[in-house]
Amino acid sequence: QDSFAVYQNDQPLTYNASLSIYQPAEPVEIQSNTGRLADFTNIEPRASLSYLLNDNSSVKASYNRMAQYLHLISNTNAPTPLDVYAPSGPYLKPQILDQYALGYFRKIKNNEFSIETEVFYKDVQNRLDYRNGAQLIANENIETEVLAGKGRAYGLEFLAKKNKGQFTGWLAYTLSRSEQQTPGRTPQETGINDGNWYPSAYDKTHDISAYLSYEANKKWTFNANFIFQTGQPTNFPVSQSQFQGLNITNYDGRNQQRLPAYHRLDLSATLTPRNQNKKFKGSWVFSIYNAYNRMNAASITFRTNEDTGSNEAVRTTIFGILPSVTYNFKF
């Protein structure tokens, strides 16, 4: 970008009170981008404390502050991933994250088994979200499409592992919430969702993953991996109206609906031939991605059926079942 837009009152967005919508502001001046536009300095303290209860158990507490100078802006309602990265500048301030965590860790049977439990809380300042009707792609003035707010995430993480023996693996579960709040800049503005908290694009209430490995002998190893996640927040139309012969789709608040739950099972078998050359070792991996062919939705779009005239939902998926054979070698 070789130019820099200047806006009246330093406000890239204007608010139309009669329609309760945000609209891009028109630049009052375009300056050549040949100098330094903005400077940011942030201190990022980090602290960690571990206390041994005994030889097998410990408690850990930590605090981290991090600054993020590159913003990721994602439209969860698009049929394809439309993510835009925007650097911090005069109109987009860096995100500041404060994270707190407290965990309990325990080894069982001489570390044959282990468990980890942790609670966490994250607080985010200057969290960006796009306005309704935003044009994010190929937009050099992305500051006219976003509003700044704050975010928070909190939850519980649990991990159980089996570390020794023919059977090894782990089971992980996370119960969490990730939310944003984007209020108006003045009492007259509505912000997003009327300034109320709403799920962020990364909110997954339940996240379960399990991994199992079985070493049958020196030649064969079998693996299974299962994933389950609560569906991603998105926006579905809730009604439809007509204006001058045009169909107008009406939506509820931001991220008030969800895609169907995501889950899949991956299977693999690894064959390592015996009597290999010491300087050259190889193995065959036979795998099946998404073994039961779950049609996970990457997005759901709505359209009018040309034949029947009725509305219908269309699910877009990326991968179904996918078998593969891989040969790995090292020398």
Residue range 213-239, pLDDT digits in tens:
999 998 999 999 999 999 999 888 888
pLDDT of residue 207: 98
Amino acid found at 47: A
For the residues 165-171, what does the mean pLDDT come to?
A: 96
Look at residues 295, 302, 292 and name the one whose alpha carbon lies nearest to residue 319: 295
Q: Is the pLDDT of residue 298 over 70?
A: yes
Say if residue 33's pLDDT is above 70.
no
Q: Is the predicted pLDDT of residue 288 greater than 60, yes or no? A: yes
Judge contact between 226 and 264, C-beta under 8 A. yes
pLDDT, position 2: 58
CA distances from 126 to 18, 30, 92, 151 (A): 27, 25, 8, 8
Of 14 and 171, which is predicted with more confidence? 171
pLDDT number for residue 238: 84
Whole-model pTM: value is: 0.85
Distance from C-alpha of 26 to C-alpha of 14, rounded to nearest angstrom: 9
Burial 19-31 (b: 16+ CB within 10 A, else e): eeebebbebeeee
Q: What's the rounded Cα separation, in Å, for the pair 63 and 58?
A: 17
Pairing state of beta strands 113-130 and 167-181? unpaired
What pLDDT score does 247 carry? 74
- What is the DSSP track for 243-256? ETTEEEEEE-STT-
Distance, in Å, from the CA atom of 276 to the CA atom of 101, rounded to the nearest integer, reads 47
Whether the predicted pLDDT of 81 surpasses 60: no
Q: Kindly state the average pLDDT of the residues 262-271.
A: 97
Residue scoring higher pLDDT (140 or 296): 296
